[in-house]
Amino acid sequence: MKSPRTTPESQDASTGLKKDLTTPLLYFFILGDVLGAGVYVLVGEVAATAGGAVRAPLLVALCLALLTAASYAELATKYPRAGGASHYATPAYGPFTGFVAGFCMLAAGVVSTPWAAIAATTALSLLLALTGDVSTLASTLVLLLLVVFFLVNTSLLALRRDPGRPGHLRAPAAVPVLGAASCIGLATRIERDVWMRGLVVLAVGAVLGSVAALRLRRAR
């Protein structure tokens, strides 16, 4: 694990977020993230396996999600700047990993990376949609999000020594460790064909990330 290079605070110390997002807009934004293929397809598969005990795995999933949510909460209050996982992974690991994190988020449906990534993920989405069913696409989405969540949790570990903004939320030390471990554990449960599709997306992101990191070094 590399030591932090530059912190988000030092990159943009004088710029604050414009507080235009109201509570209703935030609610519908989160609702739009939740209501995707996964919530309609994968929940049905869980119910088919768990039967009448379907509430138990959903409760476990909620607890696991809260681990990564706590890591996000600390990083968001520590570095209040737009960019999400890409913004946190860049100072922790460098521009290449930051780009890959943003690319995975974009592939999962969030527009937050350069136009090259937007074009590439759009083409990949069409290719995946033409070659797989909805269940496979939903599982691929889950795999990409697990990669992003793993990077968020480990980025928090890498940036723990940076003071960041005074008074920010601080999650317990075990939270990012458990969050990263849960991502690895869940990823091992994903089917082989879904992994093959996910690796294709990650490979494209790695190539574009290498190009972006090289251009950034040359610009400096």
Amino acid letter, 196? M
Radius of gyration of the chain (CA): 18
What would the pLDDT profile of 103-115 be if each residue is shown by its tens digit? 887 776 543 344 4
- Evaluate if residue 4 carries a pLDDT over 90: no
What would the pLDDT profile of 87-103 be if each residue is shown by its tens digit? 899 888 888 888 888 88
Nearest 5°: phi and psi at 17? -80, 140
Contacts of 31 (CB under 8 A, 6+ apart): none
pTM for the model: 0.71
- Give the CA diameter of the chain: 59
- Evaluate if residue 131 carries a pLDDT over 90: no
Residue pair 148/105 in contact by the 8 Å Cβ criterion? yes
Percent of the chain with pLDDT over 70: 72
What would the pLDDT profile of 39-72 be if each residue is shown by its tens digit? 666 777 777 888 888 888 888 888 888 899 899 9
Contacts of 65 (CB under 8 A, 6+ apart): none
Least confident of 27-36, 86-95, 165-174: 27-36
Average pLDDT, integer, range 198-217 = 82
* In the chain, where the domains are located: 67-219
- Evaluate if residue 180 carries a pLDDT over 90: yes
- Evaluate if residue 198 carries a pLDDT over 50: yes
185 pLDDT tier (thresholds 50, 70, 90) = very high
Site of tokens 């449960």: 189
More confident residue, 169 or 43: 169
- Evaluate if residue 150 carries a pLDDT over 90: yes
Average pLDDT, integer, range 157-172 = 85
CA distance 183 to 166: 29
What is the residue-wise DSSP string for 66-114?
HHHHHHHHHHHHHS--TTHHHHHHHHHH-HHHHHHHHHHHHHTT---S-
Interhelix angle 134-158/55-78, rounded to 10 degrees, is: 40
Average pLDDT, integer, range 77-93 = 86
Average pLDDT, integer, range 200-206 = 83
Q: What mean pLDDT value characterizes the chain?
A: 77
